[in-house]
Chain A
Amino acid sequence: MESLELIRDRILSALPQAQLEIVPNGSANNPASLRVDAAHALAVAQFLRDDPALRLDYASNVTGIDCPDVVKPEKVKITREYQGQSIEVEETVQTKIPGYFEVVYHLYSMALKHGPLVLRQRTGNRSDQIEVASLTPIYRGAEFQEREVYDLFGVRFQGHRDLRRLLMWEGFQDFPMRKDYVEPDDYEYEPTPHNEVLDKTRRHYPPEVNHG
């Protein structure tokens, strides 16, 4: 497959409005990825699928990533009026870098047997701008996986014909794969930490029976 820079340039020559960015990969022997804006994602995907040299006709893996808000403490010098004098005070200001969700598509070509091309879409933030474009009109195979991303991360896919929860039940409120998800108290899960099991045992049996 041609290099990612070349692919980007070719997409740009076909779709000049598309905003593309190459995201480097920290791991050296793994491919970098191409980030595309949600407005042009569908057109870019169509280009990638139909271009005779690429023919990326197979969306292998679709998944979401949660990057929470980062709060960076920063020391700033501020002059304050104090008893008629102006003093320079050092204060810590919390700057908030808004987080985002990313949806990652691994595209391969079954016709030409190459790949992957890693395509990414990013949401505006984690609260109200959580929409990206669904690629299901191009790749049917993304249907369940996009539903799963919606289910577990709460990313909304514009243009998905059947965007319902996939693994959790309808009526479930939260999005479990988000980094800030807190599980409810009455929720029994495995792995259960050992001392919690012991506590349960002690509640369950009188202490004289329990030799722990």
Chain B
Amino acid sequence: MLGSGIIKGLLETARNFFGSFRQPERLVTIEYPEQQRTVPENNRSFPFLVFDRNDPVKGLRCVSCKICEKECPPQCIYIETEKDSRGKPIKHPKVFDIDISVCMSCQICVEVCPFDSIKMDQTYELSQFSRYDALILHKIDLAKSNEYYHQIKPTEAGLVDEQLAAEREAQIAKAKAAAAIKVAPATASPTPKPPSPAPPAKTEVPA
């Protein structure tokens, strides 16, 4: 019948309109600035750097190995290594910039990071008035605490903490074993050497 399509369509619209008063699942939109959407845990926007011990400068897990800089597909990460007074590089970034106007939120930096120091944030209200300056995040803007990481991604952060703790224990055990091996021949040999001090842990373990 001519016009039946229009009637059918209007009936459907009416069903949705009146139904939305009774069934909340028919309301598919939210009033955005007033209501915020809860994002799933996996949601990602832009990277941030995790720090421990409430110290956003010294506590950064980043050792400035520059793997993420190399692997970043759009080349939006820029790192300079910190140097000590004698000019020797130390395991800490002096400059760590991420240009989030270029960043495409692909999470590859997170995947390739061997130190679990760079993670994805979930903030999404990031509009700025200037195109260049405000969209380059520096080290201090990027540093966020491990507690914040736990807050946004509890499951993932728990796993990362477990893994880091296990690595640390393994390292301590390794250091102990190395010490035991060094001590054992010293006691067995007929001419005892002066006992060597326990070797320090190989690398500075992030607490």
Contact with B along A174-212 (1 / 0, CB 8 A): 000000000000000011111101101100110001111
- Contact: A198 with B102, CB < 8 Å? no
Size category, B interface: 10 to 19
- Contact: A193 with B138, CB < 8 Å? no
- Contact: B102 with A194, CB < 8 Å? yes
- Given that A211-B138, A212-B138 are contacting pairs, would A194 and B97 also be in contact in the complex, using a CB cutoff of 8 Å? yes
* A-side contacts of B101, CB under 8 Å: 197
- Contact: A191 with B133, CB < 8 Å? no
Contact with A along B136-175 (1 / 0, CB 8 A): 1010000000000000000000000000000000000000
- Contact: A212 with B97, CB < 8 Å? yes
Within 8 A of A (CB), among B48-93: 73-78
Contact of B124 with A by CB under 8 A: no
Contact of B132 with A by CB under 8 A: yes
* A-side contacts of B77, CB under 8 Å: 194
Interface centre among A195, A197, A205, A209 (most CB of B within 10 A): A197
- In the docked arrangement, what's the CA distance between A204 and B101, Å? 16
- Contact: A198 with B75, CB < 8 Å? no
CB distance from B57 to the nearest CB of A (A): 16
- Contact: A190 with B133, CB < 8 Å? no
Contact of B99 with A by CB under 8 A: yes
- In the docked arrangement, what's the CA distance between A212 and B133, Å? 9
Interface centre among B73, B74, B133 (most CB of A within 10 A): B133
- In the docked arrangement, what's the CA distance between A120 and B76, Å? 39
Size category, A interface: 10 to 19
* B-side contacts of A200, CB under 8 Å: 132
Output the nearest chain A residue to B101 by Cβ-Cβ distance: A197
* B-side contacts of A192, CB under 8 Å: 74-75, 102
- In the docked arrangement, what's the CA distance between A209 and B138, Å? 14
Tell which of A194, A195, A205 touches B133, judged by Cβ atoms closer than 8 Å: A205
CB distance from A135 to the nearest CB of B (A): 35
- Contact: A210 with B133, CB < 8 Å? yes
- Given that A197-B132, A210-B133 are contacting pairs, would A191 and B78 also be in contact in the complex, using a CB cutoff of 8 Å? no
- In the docked arrangement, what's the CA distance between A89 and B68, Å? 50
- Contact: A209 with B102, CB < 8 Å? no
Contact with A along B95-115 (1 / 0, CB 8 A): 001010110000000000000
Residues of A whose CB lies within 8 Å of any CB of B are 190-195, 197-198, 200-201, 204-205, 209-212
Return 19 A-B CB contacts under 8 Å, by A number: A190-B74, A190-B102, A191-B75, A192-B75, A194-B76, A194-B97, A194-B99, A194-B102, A197-B99, A197-B136, A200-B132, A201-B136, A204-B132, A205-B130, A209-B133, A210-B133, A212-B97, A212-B133, A212-B138
